[in-house]
Structure 1
Amino acid sequence: MTSRGVEEYLRHLTVERGLARNTLASYRRDLAIYLDWLEAAGLGEPERVGPQDLAAFVHFLGAERMPPLAVSSIARVLSAVRGLHRFLAEEGRTAADPSRDLRPPKLPVRLPKAIPVEQVTAIIDAARIGDEVIALRDVALLELLYATGARVSEATALNVDDLVDRDVVRLFGKGGTQRIVPVGSYAQDALGAYLVRSRPVLSARGSATPALFLGVRGRRMSRQAVWQVLQDAASRAEVAASVSPHTMRHSFATHLLAGGADVRVVQELLGHASVATTQIYTLVTADTLREMYTVAHPRAR
């Protein structure tokens, strides 16, 4: 089914808003789903649609369509449909916008993926295997990621001078923001061993650089290199879960909250602008508590 109103809307998106070709193709596909439903429902053109019809369309997308769309896909389709009806109302083709009060379904909260303390320990221990120079660096790197909750970009951007003291590191976050984060004893020891016994060897292989973590050629480590270090260590530790540098950050926050840390303290340590971003980790902790309760309490099941 084709619609004059839809074609005019897509032309408007092309000429007036200059949307990219791929974006326009996505709009066209989503609106085709809508037009096919209108035809099957006997409604014809979008100009004849009312709020109740749109509610029925949302139900169709999530329950009757085969296969039903995921919540994120429903939200995307409805965004295109709302844009269409807003355009038709602004152009005077309809007296009102029937999608004005249409709300997309809530997207599910994506809980951060943390791994247990035992797996973090196993991964760090596995990094000790192999050439001593590289092993000392890898252990120091992984200990620092877990000790500070640093983003991988923050860790690779570190210079030696950013180790303000033995137990404090200065991290530079998004937008150039700066924060001071404590470094625990395990990371302190690992960094000390790396700086004394490993970094000088790596540094001699390249030109002088202030970077804290160096690759095998004496240059600043890349984010991809950090990812590979973690992947290799996780594989040797036989940790089945998908692990990335961000997993260490998630685990840092989750383990702190599980240990009783205040959410605003964790917010500061992570460098979140809003505490709302940090509070998602409290959901992870609550899920863990619920799981333990269900297993342990005699009347929980």
Structure 2
Amino acid sequence: MSRRKISFMSLLEDYFETYLPYSRGLSGNTINSYKQTFLLLMRYMLDVKNISASKINFSDLTYETLLDFLNWLETDRLCKPSTRNQRLSVLSAFSEYAQNRDFDAASVFRSAIIKIPVKKAKAKQRAVFTRDEIKILLNLPDENYETGLRDKVMLSFMYATGARAQEICDLKVGDIRISISSAAVTLTGKGSKVRQVGISRKLVESLQKYIRHRHIEKYPERHIFSSQTHEQMTISCVEGIYKKYVSMAKEQYSTLFHADSYPPHSMRHSTACHLLEAGVDIVTIKNILGHVSVQTTQIYAEMSQDTVDKKLKEWNESWFGDNQKIEIKKTTDSMPGFLKKR
């Protein structure tokens, strides 16, 4: 008697509801980012193939269909090759899981996925602030206003610790640890990985002053940074505050801030590069930033060398140059409930 095949949707639900959170132990943010890939796949299957989410079978996910889906991401959704590759990686991880659960049902899907190559993406130039630009940025918030005081402390904390936006949002009063000789903060990063980062006395004083100002020093579970409407700040709020001051800086200091754009991660990049230029070893920087592998941190060594090369080029030209001067649109076809954010 042949074994009953497990459906695509049944396996996908088990993947998100059980395997990723409990077997893999992935964080809610990571799982939500994975869900976006399948929401897009289901949108493509409905709009292009006229197959609703509930009707998708593994047999529908052929090499041609999946390759066309990835091309659709670039042409219709205007995704960059790097984003396309991330979507492919998510599909690949699920295909491996599905094949292990039901080889016969998922074999076509798995074999199609492994035939699709990763697309070569143009290496993007990461924007990094100079030390002078950092000083300007940190001095822009007006401490005479409630939000200005918050913004100054938050931006200072971002630079001093290299914290991610989500780590800023999750920071609580109880995460600050102070002893006679030192001070540190506990940050919870990707995959719920916890790390301790040492902070200066000056930053501690700023944090304590702000915490006392908010009257939350006796409440270790309170979030340090709040928005005007929520007790816990959101990533979009952190990004909005950051972009506000970068725009002000570019407008007021036209001879500085030359990069076309400075995404929020630029502060983290700047922390890493400045630490490296100050002589801090790469392994220590890896631990400060919370990277799993030192290879991820190694990019900052290359970025730092770019800074050296740029300065050398400017010096040569000045002396020897010729001239010395993802919304998903609504539809009546409902998406699976387990793919909604939590």
| TM superposition score category, shorter chain reference | 0.5 to 0.7
Are residues 256 and 208 of structure 1, via their aligned partners in 2, closer, same or farther at CA, if it must alter by over 3 Å? closer
**Who is 1:138 aligned against?**
151
**Who is 2:297 aligned against?**
278
Q: Which moved more, 1:163-172 or 1:210-219?
A: 210-219
Q: How does 1:152-301 map to 2 (within 5 A)?
A: 152-165=165-178, 167-197=183-213, 199-200=214-215, 210-217=222-229, 219-238=231-250, 241=259, 242-297=261-316
One-letter amino acid of the counterpart of residue 294, structure 1? K
Alignment partners' CA distance in 1, 2:164 and 2:308: 27
**Who is 2:7 aligned against?**
none
**Who is 2:140 aligned against?**
126
Alignment partners' CA distance in 2, 1:105 and 1:216: 43
**Who is 1:19 aligned against?**
61
Alignment partners' CA distance in 1, 2:166 and 2:119: 34
Q: Max radius of gyration: which structure?
A: 1
Unaligned 5+ residue runs, structure 1? 1-9, 32-70, 80-99
Q: How does 1:42-81 map to 2 (within 5 A)?
A: 72=81
Are residues 24 and 266 of structure 1, via their aligned partners in 2, closer, same or farther at CA, if it must alter by over 3 Å? same
CA contact (8 A) 1:154 1:172 kept: yes
Aligned-pair distance for 1:290? Answer: 1.0
1:117 counterpart = 2:136: no
Relative to the length of structure 1, the TM-score reads 0.61
| Aligned-residue CA RMSD (Å) | 3.8
Alignment partners' CA distance in 1, 2:264 and 2:312: 30
**Who is 2:332 aligned against?**
none
CA contact (8 A) 2:172 2:220 kept: no
Alignment partners' CA distance in 2, 1:30 and 1:270: 34
Deviations 1:137-191 (A, max 9, x none): 1111111110000111011111100011273100011111111001134422321
1:151 counterpart = 2:164: yes
SS in 2 for 1:164: strand
CA contact (8 A) 2:137 2:249 kept: yes
Are residues 146 and 18 of structure 1, via their aligned partners in 2, closer, same or farther at CA, if it must alter by over 3 Å? farther
Aligned-pair distance for 1:114? Answer: 1.3
CA contact (8 A) 1:230 1:243 kept: no
SS in 1 for 2:177: coil
Identity within the alignment, % = 27
Are residues 296 and 192 of structure 1, via their aligned partners in 2, closer, same or farther at CA, if it must alter by over 3 Å? same
Are residues 108 and 235 of structure 1, via their aligned partners in 2, closer, same or farther at CA, if it must alter by over 3 Å? closer
**Who is 1:46 aligned against?**
none
Alignment partners' CA distance in 2, 1:224 and 1:102: 34
